[in-house]
Every structure is written in C-alpha cells, then in structure tokens.
Structure 1
C-alpha cells in the first residue's frame, strides 16, 4: 500500500511539473478545471472501490477460524487492512470536498456537481462502516463513537502503553508534516500569485492562521500538563 501511494504521488508531482515546464511555469488552473475535477472523481472512485474491497477482506478475516500462532497473524493482518481502509476513506472525503469546491468555484456542469456531492455522501457513509470495523479490530474493548466530543481522550484511556507510544509517534510525525506542508503551501501560493498575477493572499492568510492555531494548540496542550 505504501509503495502504491508513493508511486501515485510521484506520478502526480511529475505531471504537475511537466505541465508547468511546458507553460513556462505559468498555468491557468481555470483552463484545466474540468480535467482536474474528472481526474479527482476517478481517483475517488478507485479509493472507494479499494476501501470496499478492504472492508470485506477484514470481515472475512474476522470470521476465519484461526488457531494458536495463526490467530496472531490474522489479528495483525486485520489491523493493517483496517489502517489502510481508514486512510483511503479519509482521503476520499478530502478529495470529495476538494472536487465539490472546485466545481462550484469554476462553474462546472451540474452533472459534475451532482457527482461531486454523491462522492462526498458515499465517502461519509464509508466512515460509518469504519465504526463497524473498529469493533472487529478491538472486539474486547468499548470503543467510543467517532462523533463523541471526547473521542481522543476516551480512545487513549482504553489503549495500552504500547499503543499509546505508537500513536504518539504517528501524531508527532503528522504534526511536523503539517507544519512543513503548510509552509510549502504558503511559498507555492506566493509563487503562483507572482507568476500568474492571480492573488492568493486570502489562501496564504488562512494557511498562516491555521499554522499559528495548530502550533498554539500543541504548545499550550504541553504547557498545561
């Protein structure tokens, strides 16, 4: 799964760089809006299709009559497939919102707008399936509902020390990646504004505010412990 994601990211980055080079590093996104929307919809459909496949694989593994050492291997495989499922579903939700916003801003056809709304609804429904899968991954635990306002605190409370350590590493890496990603986004938006004379000042300000809020939340969370 990791290799597939890396290949897709490299392909997307290579495609973007090639388009920029062909257009002397100036590009009118509005001109390619329809292609972008259709491409993203295709990616979302693929993500949801793979997610559905993973969902049934987890269900099938859960019902497997494994014994002794095989049981540990099955549990590990269920956990990995659930993690892949979670990532794909969350990615499809983000891309669905991106597609819907793009269709509205660029005034795409009503058909594409309806499809964008449909993909967002289906992606949300897949998060409901995720709750069902959590119960299969951790059948012996009282997993809190995803809509619970104190979901994070309750999840940590029922996790053992090893799981907390793994989550801590993942959260901290994500935190650092978010900081770097937003800074790169600000730089790229500035470069785009200069090269195309289309101001991205609002987006730059929003990203800057998000960066300040995220860092503030992290620092004060540590400070108040």
Structure 2
C-alpha cells in the first residue's frame, strides 16, 4: 500500500523535476555564452529562464497541494491541513501568474526585436507563454483539494463568470472584493505614473510615445467608467 502511494507521489514529481533539469541545462548553457551575446539577447534569455523557474516553483506547489490534499488527518488537524492546502493553492496561482506575465512580455519583446536574428528565443518565449496559459487553466482544478465542496460551473455556460462568483461564500467574496478595490486604485495610480513617465521619455529622447499614452488614457477611461457604472443603482 505504502509503496503504491509512494509510486504515485514520485510520478507527480516527474513534471517539476523534468522542468528543473531543463532549467539547469538552459542556465548553464546561457552562462557559458553570456559574454558573447548582445544585451537584448541576454535579457530575453534571462526572462525565459525566470519564467521557467516560476513554472517550476508553481509545479512543486501544485504537487504539494495534491499530496497534502488527500492526507488523512484527525478532526483536530483537519482545519490546519485545509488551511495549508489553500495557501499552497494560492501560491501555485501566484507563481503561474508571474510566469504568464513574464512570458507575455518576453514573447512580445522578442517578436518585435529579435525575430529575424534569434528566432529560437522567440520560439521558446511562445512555448513558455502557452505553457503558462495552460497553467492558468489547470490551477483552477486545485480547488477540489483546498475546498472539496466547491464545484466549478460549466465553462461553456453564458453566465460562467457570474456562476463562478456566486459559488464562493460570503467570506471569500469579501476578500476578493477587498483585494479588487485596492487593485483598482493601485492600477489607476500606476497608469497615471506610466503616462507621465512616457511623456518625459518622449521629451528627452524625442521618440514619440503618443500612441502608448493615448492607449493608457483609453484604459483609464474604461476602468473608471466601468467601475462607476457597476456602482450605479439599477432601476
């Protein structure tokens, strides 16, 4: 029985260990040629390696969730186990989101700057972007370990987002809304600072960033208007 369970656990660790081997190989290979490459090349490789590292950490957390999620504990220790699994689930989500953000920037930057000179770098960025996106989809299934009674609504439902939100209890909704409320104001502030930063960049470098500034303005308009409309009482 124990050998069977041990074999299952080992199989669960195959993915993170395989990713770790790829990471170490890529890192050693890059460090061997770092002085011979351009700054742009090194930055893109560093971004890809960082993204891979985030996916490795996320995959390890995901395995920990699966292992701890099926442990049999006493009634006194059950709450602590569920709390641990929930924290590990959110850690998995966070690291996958970081990987997705890094891979997105790396993919876009690489495609714009080095697609003709270093196509392999762009290809790796695309692969990491796809892997990160799939990770975002897969981590949603970890909720069955942290919250066994939680059921995901049908993804094909036209009201999927509403059904998903209604699936959470009042405490979870409060935490979500509190976090989103803070995020709203931080996002407004950061977009304004970014707009001013692009303005000064355009002035000092004489390279117009007008399209980016207009895009930021449109995003600000959408965010603030949508937020205000969502608070407006309905008839």
- TM-score, structure 2 length as denominator? 0.77
Aligned pair 1:48/2:55, yes or no?
A: yes
Residues in 2 aligned to 1:187 and 1:35: alpha-carbon distance in whole angstroms: 29
Q: TM-score, normalised by structure 1?
A: 0.80
Which residue in 1 is equivalent to 2:94? 87
Higher RCO by CA contacts (8 Å cutoff, separation 6 or greater): 1
Are 1:63 and 2:66 an aligned pair?
no
Within 5 Å, which residues of 2 pair with 1:155-170?
155-170=164-179
Alpha carbon RMSD of aligned pairs, Å? 1.8
> Is this contact kept in 2: 1:33–1:102, CA < 8 A?
no
Consecutive unaligned residues in structure 2, runs of 5 or more: 1-37
CA deviations over 1:39-71 (Å, ceiling 9, x no partner): 211210110010000000000110111111211
User: Following the alignment from structure 1 to structure 2, what is the Cα–Cα distance between the partners of residues 216 and 224?
Assistant: 14
- Match in the other structure for 1:137: 146
Give the drift of 1:200: 1.3
Aligned ranges 1:1-225 → 2 under 5 Å: 32-108=39-115, 109-144=118-153, 150-225=159-234
Distance 1:57 1:147, change over 3 A: farther
Shift of 1:174: 1.1
Provide, for residues 4-60 of structure 1, a one-character-per-residue CA deviation record: whole Å limited to 9, x for no partner: xxxxxxxxxxxxxxxxxxxxxxxxxxx843232122112101100100000000001
Instruction: Name structure 1 gaps, 5 residues minimum.
Output: 1-30
Q: Say if 1:160 and 1:49 are closer, same or farther in 2 by CA, change over 3 A.
A: same
Structure-2 separation of matches of 1:141 and 1:153: 15
